[in-house]
Structure 1
Amino acid sequence: MSHTRAWQGSRQRKRTLSITRSLFLFPAWKKRQSTVTDDIIFSPVSLSYDVFDGRSTGTPLVFLHGLFGCKSNFQSIGKKLVQQTGRKVLTIDARNHGNSAHSSVMTYEAMCSDLQKLMSQLHIQKCVLIGHSMGGKVAMTTALLQPDLVERLVVVDISPSKTFTQTNFPTYITAMKAVKTDSNIPRSTAKRQAEDQLKSFVKDHSVRQFLLTNLIEENGLYIWRVNLDAITKNLDNLLGFPEFDTSYSGPTLFLGGGNSPYICSEDFPEIQQLFPYSDIQYIEGASHWVHADKPHDFINSIRTFLCSP
């Protein structure tokens, strides 16, 4: 389980820090010039989602996955949280991922509009928003632009900072684009061929398996269901984060992996500025994929946060 100590801030309630290492246009959004060059008017797209109904009338939990992920990443976590909390759980495929619609536009503002549209369609007035990596940035953007939709916020192993230096995602994209498989073959054979080609770029077996969940068959051909062209075009936006002149005043938990570099001490001032009522915790022994590495600790952290003031 995670081990933490407290740090007091003048405007904040308690923060916890690890002892192990130290068509939507929104007026609150300001462009970060290094990542956005043009004003883009965009329309929300339709999102694929799964719902796990609970017996409680409590605010539903909404999970947002990371880059190259999909809604099934949180399926087992979601089911357990339904059992343990009684709350409804919603897991969502982001645009250009899973079974959701594709678009050439892939900014955090656009993904926020997608979520807003879906919540309206499902008559969800407020949720507990839980986002991992890219999904964490979508969750932060939504909380800052549409705070009335977000009762509580959980940001998993990402911060409101640029992530250019820590990420291997450009390498993953290059590797995935280079994959060629035979046609009209069993999926197991295609998956084996693809993995053999990924090995020279992606050394970590678990990461290769994660990427291969996106390999699908279509008319005898094997393709990537993620929109690699859109991700490549928008990668600078995805690795960055918009600038805001506002803050989110709801309870917020930043939950990092103890072995991950994605939430570091240099990020704390920006977290404090944008999310003044936040706790920062680390789960020891977890990598960037916190929920996959330590699901029991992850669930316990979420449950504890849901019960906190």
Structure 2
Amino acid sequence: MLAITRYEGDTSAPTLLIAHGLFGSARNWNVIAKRLSGPRPVISVDMRNHGESPWFDSHSYADLAGDLAEVIEAEGAPVDLLGHSMGGKSAMVLALARPELIRRLVVADIAPVAYSHTQGHLVEAMRGLDLTGLTSRSEADKRLAASINTASVRAFLLQSLDLKASPPRWRLNLNVLDREMDKIVGWPAPEGEFTGPAMFIAGAESDYIQPDARPLIKAQFPKARQIKIPGAGHWLHAEKPREFEAAVEAFLSA
């Protein structure tokens, strides 16, 4: 079973389940999960091969959707499901395969398509980080800067570095994530349709949801609303948290 972080709320409302993206964890969603809780219980998971969740040899979207289904069945279906990037694809695959588990679906900055980019260079940078004698995040950041220029990307990745372990270690199954990268950036093209309410939120500065993806979204998620958050890129929940949270709250409570 996936590792779960819980936030209390009104149990007469459906639980909101949050699934993070590649290299993320439930911790990345802590502030938003807390703020969305209250009117409803919220649970945030570490996806397989991430955070405190178990490591496996495979990382397909069928696997990821199956993990989420196991959590939902244990919690009591249906839930509202919010997924970002890799978590968004996992959420879509589950919604198409097991629509009865989901009341409302929120997909953040990802489309039901295969992408040509890879995040393999980030895996290499993390693998290449010299962990010898590391005791501070600032020192880790300094070392990681040799291979990753962008400070915000380094800060995001370093949230998954466990400095309390001896020796320090990544809370990411880097070998499997690297080997399965084609599946992660790809799309298994599942059949089916989710006819419940759905909202696809894009960052206006992100290029992850292209115009040609919109008819594909509508074909399998016929009730999907599609909105953009101005000034936000791919990590829209981190870059424009209040706007993101307001859009999700309005949709869930509609």
Per the TM superposition, whether the score is higher than 0.5 is yes
% identity of equivalent residues: 34
Q: Could you tell me which residue of structure 1 aligns to residue 127 of structure 2?
A: 177
- The residue identity in structure 2 corresponding to 1:93 is D
Secondary structure of the corresponding residue to residue 37 of structure 2: helix
- Residues 1:201 and 2:147 are matched in the alignment: yes
Secondary structure of the corresponding residue to residue 226 of structure 2: strand
- Residues 1:111 and 2:61 are matched in the alignment: no
Q: Could you tell me which residue of structure 2 aligns to residue 248 of structure 1?
A: 194
Distance in 1 between the 2:73 and 2:198 partners? 23
- Residues 1:224 and 2:170 are matched in the alignment: yes
What is the TM-score with the length of structure 1 in the denominator? Answer: 0.79
Secondary structure of the corresponding residue to residue 242 of structure 1: coil
- TM-aligned CA deviation for residue 218 of structure 1: 6.3
- TM-aligned CA deviation for residue 276 of structure 1: 1.1
Report matched runs for 1:63-212 at 5 Å: 63-83=18-38, 86-122=39-75, 124-165=76-117, 167=118, 169-183=119-133, 185-186=134-135, 188=136, 191-212=137-158
Distance in 1 between the 2:193 and 2:173 partners? 32
Report matched runs for 1:271-286 at 5 Å: 271-286=217-232
- TM-aligned CA deviation for residue 78 of structure 1: 1.2
Secondary structure of the corresponding residue to residue 270 of structure 1: helix
- TM-aligned CA deviation for residue 99 of structure 1: 0.2
- The residue identity in structure 1 corresponding to 2:37 is V
Task: Check the 8 A contact 1:181/1:193 in 2, yes or no.
Answer: no
Distance in 1 between the 2:120 and 2:228 partners? 26
- TM-aligned CA deviation for residue 55 of structure 1: 2.4
Distance in 2 between the 1:144 and 1:62 partners? 17
Distance in 2 between the 1:268 and 1:120 partners? 31
Distance in 2 between the 1:56 and 1:177 partners? 42
Structure 1 gap ranges (5+): 1-45
Distance in 2 between the 1:70 and 1:146 partners? 24
Distance in 2 between the 1:194 and 1:56 partners? 42
What is the TM-score with the length of structure 2 in the denominator? Answer: 0.95
- The residue identity in structure 2 corresponding to 1:279 is R
Distance in 2 between the 1:231 and 1:218 partners? 23
Structure 2 gap ranges (5+): none
Distance in 2 between the 1:72 and 1:120 partners? 23
Which of 204, 210, 225 is the matching residue for 1:264? Answer: 210
Task: Check the 8 A contact 1:48/1:93 in 2, yes or no.
Answer: yes
Distance in 2 between the 1:74 and 1:214 partners? 13
Larger radius of gyration: 1
Distance in 2 between the 1:297 and 1:256 partners? 12
Distance in 2 between the 1:119 and 1:60 partners? 9
- Per-residue deviation, residues 150-169 of structure 1 (Å, max 9, x unmatched): 1110000000111223x5x1
Secondary structure of the corresponding residue to residue 244 of structure 1: coil
- The residue identity in structure 2 corresponding to 1:215 is L
Distance in 1 between the 2:221 and 2:90 partners? 14
Q: Which has the higher contact order (CA 8 A, sep 6+)?
A: 1
Name the count of aligned residue pairs. 254
Runs in 1 of length 4+ with deviation above 3 angstroms? none
- TM-aligned CA deviation for residue 252 of structure 1: 0.7
- Per-residue deviation, residues 94-124 of structure 1 (Å, max 9, x unmatched): 00000000001111111111111122223x1
Distance in 2 between the 1:260 and 1:306 partners? 24
Which of 44, 50, 58 is the matching residue for 2:13? Answer: 58
Q: What is the root-mean-square deviation of aligned Cα atoms in Å?
A: 1.4
- The residue identity in structure 2 corresponding to 1:130 is L
Secondary structure of the corresponding residue to residue 162 of structure 2: strand
Task: Check the 8 A contact 1:63/1:92 in 2, yes or no.
Answer: yes
Task: Check the 8 A contact 2:96/2:191 in 1, yes or no.
Answer: no
